[in-house]
A and B are shown apart, each in its own frame.
Chain A
Amino acid sequence: MFFGLSEEQLLIQDSFRGTLDRLVSLDRIREISNGNSSIDRALWRELTALGLPGLLIDEEQGGSGLQLFEAAIVATELGRSMASVPFASAAIMAPLALKHAGSDTQQKEWLPKIASGDIIIGTALAQAASGARRGAGVTASNNRLNGKASFALDASEADAILIADEDSNLYLARTDAKGLEQKNLPTIDGARPLSDIILTDVDVEHLGNGSKDCVEDIINAGRIILTAESFGAGEEMLRRAVAYAKERKQFDRVIASFQAVKHLCAEMAAELQPCQSLIWYAAYAYDNLPEEARLVVLLAKSHMDEVGRFVARTATEVHGGMGYTDLMGLHFWFKRIGFNRAQLGSPEKLRAMAAAMQGFTGAITPASSQTAAAR
């Protein structure tokens, strides 16, 4: 048994951490968050050179052929640096959908373009992941989609969108297709596009080899990546809180010497430590123990979502009034953690799903079966 990162995995971690340290400054984060585009295209190109979009794509299609475990390591670094790139959607869920549900032809057509960073595919899987709200729902007939897909991730600036219909069939729609309208949703996280998609007789490509389990697995991969990203963001918030507390003086001493401040930092550190192990295991299980992974992913995301919320507010509090200002930029991580919490299933939802999965039938049933029952 070896529970940790191999030499190669440490190299991947180091190379992404180094590059992101070099390229992502607070000014850059602020520029993207306040700008018209929510994706840092220049950063995306730089990270493409490191193989970011093709991590999970086979080598013969231009990718690196790595597994979700390595992707989770990268996601943690992206969260740490607050990078504004469409990783969970374009590099994880979309290529996995093509790999598991696409035909050979579709894979040959799309995967090399994803791996090369030439196209970005957003994902509209929110209803499949956590149920439909406010009239969302997509129906399909003869490879034409109608209806509304809400809360699509990274779709507003994408070239195509992966969409699930109400029966968990998967489709690829080009964003310039006739009848496809997008409405950008302003969210707390200005560096991560979220949109509603209105579909009126939109011609789409069906990824015909899918199934309900297949969609759940793709969403689970996205959940692990968002969880790993929030973990990285939480670690960075703790690091900044400790560093600030060691500099800031009050009553003639650094505030890091006050137990009231130390204990807050210790609690954050204590809560974060096991999250790392839980995330590594969830990703490892996803790659190697698929049956076990389904439960562990739900536990990992729901737990990290709670720890993330605690760390985000506590690290802000340690900064005192400065934490509340825009000057420190701490709020960007705070918002990313809050954003991820609500995506692909909020913690209460995921816990109810975990209960149902373990035979506690009185608890709320999973999103997918609930949607089916409502029809």
Chain B
Amino acid sequence: MDLTDRAEHKIFREEVRDFIAAYRHLAPEDTAHSYRLMPRPYSDEVRNWQKLLVEKGYANRTVPKAYGGFGAEPDILKSKIIADEFFKVNVPQGLYSQGISMLVPTLLEHGTEEQKRKWIAPTVRADVFWCQGYSEPNSGSDLASLQTSAIEDGDDFIINGSKIWTSSAHVAQMIFCLVRTEPEAGKYDGISYLIFPMDTPGIEIRPLQTMTGHPSFNEVFFTDVRVPKAAVVGGRGNGWKVANSTLAHERGMLSNANLSLERLQKIEKLLKTETIDGAPVGENAALMDRYIRLQARVQGMRLHEMRLITAASMGKPRGLEDLVCKLLGCEINHQLDALAIDILGEIGVLYDGIPSIDLDGVWQQLYMYDLGLIIGGGTAQIQKNIIAERGLDMPREPKTTKG
């Protein structure tokens, strides 16, 4: 155990600080998280900031130079230093969209040379926005039962079917999509991972109104959509394997202790500044008890992340300690949102459209959005199955269906 920076990392931390000091005047107001809450096309300011971060090696830094990245050697400790230094001074970090955080690592691992050269650079620079076509109306937690078909026709596939929960489909130029290309193969062996443009004829997008009031999801319908066979990533019939490597990236993306820490810090401020009958809300022992409970949980996750980073930097395979992150991270965030709402009392029900107290209104939105994250990306119940089966080596439920 040694939490001091090695000389190389000390220098690197200084470099990051120098960069922030020199360029922070160019940083946009909007963060990656605000785009996740309400998907919309990136502003020029956001795209320029992202380009600068990629160019200087502060976002997606290990993407090879040949594909438009910075080409840094993988060093998870440096990535952690970047995240912490940006977070400390509240400067937006690199974007984490489904394209940047999920598609790019997948292409790097499974893509053809041509796919990598064509798509990675514009994706990490936020010039191309992606959506993910995974879930279907009848295939949610049981994703591998998906039925959207891609039938061979010469050099193309003809796609028919529909997807649901497709975040950002209404603003995306491209989709990475799971389809059944081998109908006669087994449940897991007949799936392929395709990438194609959202303006391909035959695609219809219907926004799905959500409880937040923002249409962040969509239903996407495919009617005889013609896509070239070259759009397959990782080989025909390998889609399930390819998708699972992508889902692992998503699960990592959904548990970021700095996001919890940010909420915790805002709540600490609320406890000190909000008053009831002239006294700070933080004098309420019951609320303080809840706050300290959550503070311990957030610190636990922050430290746990450091432990995982050390394990990863030593090349250790992912284990039980990694599998618990999505379940815990989402739950803790949701509880933080609930506490903030309760601290605010009547103010806690305020919502969008009240400009004078925009900070207060965000908590109800987060409370609903974070519930969505508990469900999305593998529900909490699916996470528990994964923890039990892969982490504790407990047997799967006996199968009742073929597959």
- CB of A262 within 8 A of CB of B388, answer yes
Bound complex: CA of A352 vs CA of B396, how far in Å? 43
Bound complex: CA of A361 vs CA of B1, how far in Å? 35
Q: Does B292 contact A (CB under 8 A)?
A: yes
- CB of B398 within 8 A of CB of A351, answer no
Contact residues of B between 373 and 403, Cβ < 8 Å to A: 381, 383-385, 387-389, 391-398
- CB of B288 within 8 A of CB of A360, answer yes
Closest chain A residue, CB of each to CB of B281: A362
Closest chain B residue, CB of each to CB of A356: B288
Q: Which of A252-260, A309-317, A322-330 interfaces with chain B?
A: A252-260
Q: Which of B279, B288, B385, B394 contacts A246 (CB 8 A)?
A: B394
Bound complex: CA of A1 vs CA of B4, how far in Å? 5
CB distance from A352 to the nearest CB of B (A): 7
Q: Does A303 contact B (CB under 8 A)?
A: yes
- CB of A274 within 8 A of CB of B303, answer yes
Q: Does A363 contact B (CB under 8 A)?
A: yes
Bound complex: CA of A306 vs CA of B288, how far in Å? 16
Bound complex: CA of A79 vs CA of B326, how far in Å? 28
Closest chain B residue, CB of each to CB of A288: B3
Closest chain A residue, CB of each to CB of B383: A266
Q: Does A270 contact B (CB under 8 A)?
A: yes
- Determine the chain B residues whose CB is within 8 A of the CB of A351 once the complex forms: 288-289, 292-293
Bound complex: CA of A245 vs CA of B395, how far in Å? 10
Q: Does A44 contact B (CB under 8 A)?
A: no
Q: Does A293 contact B (CB under 8 A)?
A: no
CB distance from A250 to the nearest CB of B (A): 13
- CB of A254 within 8 A of CB of B395, answer yes
Q: Does B310 contact A (CB under 8 A)?
A: yes
- CB of A262 within 8 A of CB of B328, answer no
- CB of A266 within 8 A of CB of B289, answer no
- CB of A275 within 8 A of CB of B300, answer yes
- Determine the chain B residues whose CB is within 8 A of the CB of A246 once the complex forms: 394-395
- CB of A2 within 8 A of CB of B1, answer yes
Bound complex: CA of A179 vs CA of B114, how far in Å? 88
- CB of B1 within 8 A of CB of A5, answer yes
CB distance from A205 to the nearest CB of B (A): 35
Q: Which of A182-190, A196-204, A277-285 interfaces with chain B?
A: A277-285
- Determine the chain A residues whose CB is within 8 A of the CB of B311 once the complex forms: 4
Closest chain A residue, CB of each to CB of B291: A355
- CB of B309 within 8 A of CB of A3, answer yes
Bound complex: CA of A361 vs CA of B300, how far in Å? 25
- CB of A277 within 8 A of CB of B1, answer no
Bound complex: CA of A259 vs CA of B283, how far in Å? 42
Given contacts A3-B3, A3-B309, A4-B307, contact A263 B299 (CB under 8 A): no
Given contacts A2-B310, A9-B1, contact A277 B300 (CB under 8 A): yes
- CB of B279 within 8 A of CB of A270, answer no
CB distance from A232 to the nearest CB of B (A): 16
- CB of B328 within 8 A of CB of A274, answer yes
- CB of B398 within 8 A of CB of A257, answer yes
Q: How many residues of B contact A (CB 8 A)?
A: 56
Contact residues of A between 356 and 375, Cβ < 8 Å to B: 358-364
- CB of A362 within 8 A of CB of B280, answer yes
- CB of A362 within 8 A of CB of B284, answer yes
Q: Does B7 contact A (CB under 8 A)?
A: no
- CB of B303 within 8 A of CB of A277, answer yes
Q: Does B21 contact A (CB under 8 A)?
A: no
Closest chain B residue, CB of each to CB of A361: B283
CB distance from A273 to the nearest CB of B (A): 5
Bound complex: CA of A246 vs CA of B397, how far in Å? 13
Q: Does B115 contact A (CB under 8 A)?
A: no
Given contacts A1-B77, A274-B328, A277-B304, contact A262 B385 (CB under 8 A): yes
Q: Which of A55-63, A102-110, A294-302 interfaces with chain B?
A: A294-302
- CB of A360 within 8 A of CB of B283, answer yes
- CB of A263 within 8 A of CB of B310, answer no
Bound complex: CA of A133 vs CA of B131, how far in Å? 62
Bound complex: CA of A5 vs CA of B316, how far in Å? 14
Given contacts A1-B310, A266-B388, A362-B285, contact A299 B292 (CB under 8 A): yes
- CB of A303 within 8 A of CB of B293, answer yes
What are the interface flags for A58-80 relative to B under an 8 Å C-beta threshold, 1 for contact and 0 otherwise?
00000000000100000000000
Bound complex: CA of A261 vs CA of B394, how far in Å? 10
- Determine the chain A residues whose CB is within 8 A of the CB of B3 once the complex forms: 1-3, 284, 288
- CB of B300 within 8 A of CB of A364, answer no
Given contacts A266-B388, A278-B299, A284-B1, contact A364 B398 (CB under 8 A): no
CB distance from B209 to the nearest CB of A (A): 31
- CB of B285 within 8 A of CB of A266, answer no
What are the interface flags for B267-287 relative to A under an 8 Å C-beta threshold, 1 for contact and 0 otherwise?
010011000000110111100
Closest chain B residue, CB of each to CB of A364: B285
- CB of A3 within 8 A of CB of B296, answer no
Given contacts A1-B2, A3-B1, A274-B304, contact A257 B328 (CB under 8 A): no
- Determine the chain B residues whose CB is within 8 A of the CB of A266 once the complex forms: 327, 383-385, 387-388, 391-392
- Determine the chain B residues whose CB is within 8 A of the CB of A299 once the complex forms: 292, 295-296, 299
Q: Does B297 contact A (CB under 8 A)?
A: yes
- Determine the chain B residues whose CB is within 8 A of the CB of A284 once the complex forms: 1, 3
Considering residues A270, A281, A354, which has the most beta carbons from chain B within 10 angstroms of its beta carbon? A270
- CB of A270 within 8 A of CB of B324, answer yes
Contact residues of A between 79 and 122, Cβ < 8 Å to B: none
Q: Does A36 contact B (CB under 8 A)?
A: no
- Determine the chain B residues whose CB is within 8 A of the CB of A265 once the complex forms: 388, 392, 394
Q: Does B5 contact A (CB under 8 A)?
A: yes
Bound complex: CA of A267 vs CA of B307, how far in Å? 20
Bound complex: CA of A354 vs CA of B290, how far in Å? 12
Q: Does B349 contact A (CB under 8 A)?
A: no
Q: Which of A4, A257, A267 contacts B1 (CB 8 A)?
A: A4
Q: Does B30 contact A (CB under 8 A)?
A: no
Bound complex: CA of A256 vs CA of B395, how far in Å? 6
Bound complex: CA of A275 vs CA of B297, how far in Å? 9
Given contacts A257-B394, A296-B299, 6 further A-B contacts (CB under 8 A): A257-B398, A263-B381, A277-B303, A280-B303, A360-B271, A362-B283
> Chain B: residues with CB nearer than 8 A to chain A?
1-6, 9, 77, 80, 268, 271-272, 279-280, 282-285, 288-289, 291-293, 295-297, 299-301, 303-304, 306-307, 309-311, 320-321, 324, 327-328, 381, 383-385, 387-389, 391-398
The 29 listed contacts between A and B (C-beta, < 8 Å) are A1-B2, A1-B80, A1-B309, A3-B1, A3-B303, A3-B306, A4-B307, A6-B1, A242-B392, A245-B394, A246-B395, A254-B395, A257-B398, A263-B388, A266-B385, A267-B384, A270-B387, A273-B328, A274-B303, A276-B307, A277-B304, A284-B3, A299-B295, A300-B296, A354-B292, A355-B289, A355-B292, A360-B283, A362-B280
**5 nearest interchain CB pairs?**
A362-B283, A274-B300, A262-B388, A303-B296, A266-B384
